[in-house]
Homo-oligomer: A and B are copies of this chain.
Amino acid sequence: MNYNSDKGKNDDHDMHLADKRQRIINGAITVFACKGFYKAKIEEIAAQAGVGKGTVYEYFSSKKELFQEMFLYIEEKYEEMFQQELSLVDTFYAKLQKMFEVTIRFLERHKEMARILLAGYPPVSEDIQRVLLEKNQLKLEEISKILEEAIGRQEIRPVDTFAAAQVILGALFFVGGQILFAGTENKKKFDYDEQAQEVIDILLKGFLYP
């Protein structure tokens, strides 16, 4: 059950396989996102992917495995965006902005999916649960490092970088949460970027008078 990652090849066969597997993942994203793990029916995912029920089982050994693979796929996409975008800018301020930008952009696209990820509750048994934790930890460390560098460059004052990373990630997630949940009711879909700007301002300057 190894799926070759070298998708450079375009020959019909590989393409076809990759195609189907990916179509099922996409179907899964759609259906899991909108029904949650338990209410999602394999049959519906298959239909969504335009394949037969049995075909899903050719590529994933169980509903749970499908869920986990999809989960990993999404996570990876987010991680990619995060890393890539942040590497494009230099200053701490710019990086902070990028973090919000990327997160907002990502969540707007994968809104429903993210809710499930947040939940952490489908039977993403142990393994995935652990991966989730690790990813989080990694992100914290990533941000910590960015903070350290910024401190080194004297862009920001010396702070407990781990605590600071938490504050940032917390703000990130919360703004994200706004999108996620408030988004269901898309009444006032206000400008998240603007909102984020305010948040960044506070993070930078704090509440107290200088």
Contact = CB atoms under 8 A, between A and B. Distances in A.
Consensus secondary structure, chain A interface: helix
Given A120-B119, A175-B170, A133 B202 contact: no
Interface residues on A, range: 35 or more
A199 B118 contact: no
B121 A167 contact: no
Q: How many copies of this chain does one complex carry?
A: 4
A174 interface: yes
Contacts of A198: 159-160, 162-164
A154, A177, A203, most chain B CB atoms within 10 A: A203
Interface of A: 36-39, 92, 115-116, 118-123, 129-130, 132-133, 136, 147, 150, 154, 156-157, 159-160, 162-164, 166-167, 169-175, 177-178, 181-182, 184-185, 195, 198-199, 201-210
